[in-house]
Chain A
Amino acid sequence: MKIHQLSMFLENKPGRLSEPCRLLADAGINILTLSLADTQQFGILRIIVRDWEKARKVLESAGCVVNVTEVVATEVEDQPGGLAKILEVIEQAKLNIEYMYAFTFRSGDKAVLVFRFNDPDAAVAVLQARGISVIGNVELY
């Protein structure tokens, strides 16, 4: 019940973000969602795509440094309190969130939260035991 996320190293310079996006576009790969962490000098681009193995090959053969990590995606009601409820569960279970980001689907009233935990398996078990809907690749795509 984990999904694969690709991370890339980017220098913090004009044009650096568009390069990987262009590579994926040319390969016909659609980006489901992305998040960008940045410092003054460099950034880390994290993306979720359907065919992550192909995306990885495309990016690596263009010379990008790519890292694959397993992240946990959960589904919540797209309404006030949706995120707070899940964070409470995570807090009580003493799970540390390395980082997170969120997105909503085009249709419907659900939002998807993406979490990076140190131990994703333990996190999935805790979340599921508390009745939180953890979604896998199939549902997400």
Chain B
Amino acid sequence: MAGELMSTFVVENRIWDPAEQMPRQERSALQLDRLRETVARAARVPFYQKAFQKSGITPEKIKTLDDLRRLPFTTKADMRENYPLGLCAVPRAELARIHGSSGTTGVPTFVGYTKQDLRTWAGLCARFLVAGGLRPEHTVQVAFGYGLFTGGFGLHYGIEEVGAAIIPAASGNTPRQIMLIRDLEPDVLICTPSYALNVAEVMHSMGMDPHSMSLKYAHFGGEMWTEDLRIEIENQTGILAFNNYGLSEILGPGVSGECAVREGMHLQEDHFLVECLDPETLEPVEDYAYGELVITALTREAMPMIRYRTRDIAAIDPCLCECGRTTRRMSRVMGRSDDMLIIRGVNVFPSQIEEALLGVEGTSPHYLIEVDRPGALDEVSVKVEVNPAFFSDKMSEMQELRDRIDRKIQGYTGIHVKVELVAPKSIERSAGKAVRVVDNRLKRK
């Protein structure tokens, strides 16, 4: 994949923490010790105490890592039932910070951190930042929201840990972001991938060439994105883009991140036990197969999380990476088990439609999926913005393009959708998570 990219920057392989290279057997032993400690800590939380009693679990009964499967799951609903901080295992006085989920799927949830949790977190962010090119002499522009959202502060302290300089630009106000990039010349940009695309677009409209800017690397997170979108962003900006993964319920960013090889994100397995399960049967899927990530946080003091069902669909690659890290790698998140659209009985992920669109020459990465059920059947329409690269004065060519997009989406998803060509910039741009799906069926119920 790397060969297709236009960025001229390369990253020398550097490893921040020797733990990333720990022999696998040694790491497994550490995981087992830490799992017992986590279960012991969790037993102080009434919710887990009850659940452990029910299944007869005590820390001593955990003999091997396989015993993990005897532990109960934790879900978002459990967090809501224990709102706001009922899952904390330490006295309130020991909390050093409280973050919240971004609230994209309803009631917010809160997570607590002790001072040690914050240190651990900064160290984990430092690992993937360094793997993706960050060096102490760099300047980083953080265009993530600073607030309850874990992205801003999480990355901020990771950058500080590495020793680089931070421009805490926070999210939004694109002209000001561009002014900061132009005048302060950061080496690294941190934001959501869709926002990076927005910044590049606004730069173009201001007559500026993103390729001529000082930015070398970007660390993207906070939303789902595809490999094609990476190529698109790199071609438009010349920046080398790295992916990282995390979620506030578990910690925030820092659960995994890409190294210079960029073939999957290294799971920080000394701190997390990661399972990949079939979301229906909850049985493990095979290596390389897609399933729901279920994560146990091994070192969280304030809020131990046992087998948290992330709803994120990804695959795990157990092969050793050539970078020297011994951890397994996860694929990008290709969907959420609860974002999965069921269209006329077929499971469809918005990311599949995005990939299909980006695979059609000349289409823009801005799109909106609308689902409705006007009669008995589900109907999907995909709005795609027209741009000068594929606009023709010939109706036949425009219709041909629309058919090509239609066929491509059908090829990726197995369903037929109605493709609508819309005027450029008519789909709303967002500073945070992009709205890609509008499900009008929910309004009809």
Which A residues fall within an 8 A CB radius of B? 5, 7, 9-11, 16, 37, 39, 41-42, 44, 46, 63-67, 69, 98-99, 116
Contacts and interface: CB of A to CB of B under 8 A. Distances in A.
A65 B393 contact: no
Given A66-B388, A67-B391, A116-B393, A44 B398 contact: yes
B347 interface: no
B370 to A, nearest CB: 13
B425 interface: yes
Given A44-B398, A65-B387, A7 B393 contact: yes
Which of the listed residues A11, A39, A63, A65 has the most CB atoms from chain B within 10 Å of its own CB?
Answer: A65
A7 B399 CA distance: 16
Contact of A99 (B391, B395, B421): B395
27 contacts: A7-B391, A7-B392, A9-B386, A9-B421, A9-B423, A11-B422, A11-B423, A37-B395, A39-B395, A39-B399, A41-B421, A42-B386, A42-B398, A42-B421, A44-B393, A44-B395, A44-B398, A46-B393, A63-B424, A65-B387, A65-B391, A65-B423, A67-B388, A67-B392, A69-B393, A99-B394, A116-B393
Interface of B: 386-388, 391-396, 398-399, 420-426
A116 B388 CA distance: 19
Contacts of A63: 423-425
B394 A98 contact: yes
A39 B403 CA distance: 14
A11 to B, nearest CB: 5
A41 B420 contact: yes
Given A39-B399, A65-B387, A66-B388, A116 B394 contact: yes
Contacts of B421: 9, 41-42
Nearest to B391: A65
A23 B387 CA distance: 19
Which residue of A9, A42, A99, A116 has the most chain B CB atoms within 10 A of its CB atom? A9
Given A39-B399, A116-B393, A65 B420 contact: no
Contacts of B423: 9-11, 16, 63, 65
B205 to A, nearest CB: 9
A37 B397 CA distance: 13
Contacts of A11: 422-423, 426
A63 B421 CA distance: 16
A83 B139 CA distance: 69
Contact of A65 (B388, B394, B396, B399): B388
Contacts of A116: 393-394
A65 B395 contact: no
Contacts of A64: 424
Nearest to A37: B395
Given A39-B399, A42-B421, A65 B392 contact: no
B426 A67 contact: no
Contacts of A65: 386-388, 391, 423-424
In order of increasing CB-CB distance, the 7 nearest A-B pairs are A7-B393, A65-B391, A9-B386, A37-B395, A69-B393, A42-B421, A67-B391
Contacts of A99: 394-395
Nearest to A60: B388
A56 to B, nearest CB: 11
Contacts of B395: 37, 39, 44, 99
A16 B421 CA distance: 14
A11 B388 CA distance: 15
Given A44-B393, A63-B424, 20 more contacts: A7-B393, A9-B391, A9-B423, A11-B423, A11-B426, A16-B423, A39-B395, A41-B421, A42-B398, A44-B398, A63-B423, A64-B424, A65-B387, A65-B423, A65-B424, A66-B388, A67-B388, A67-B391, A69-B393, A116-B393
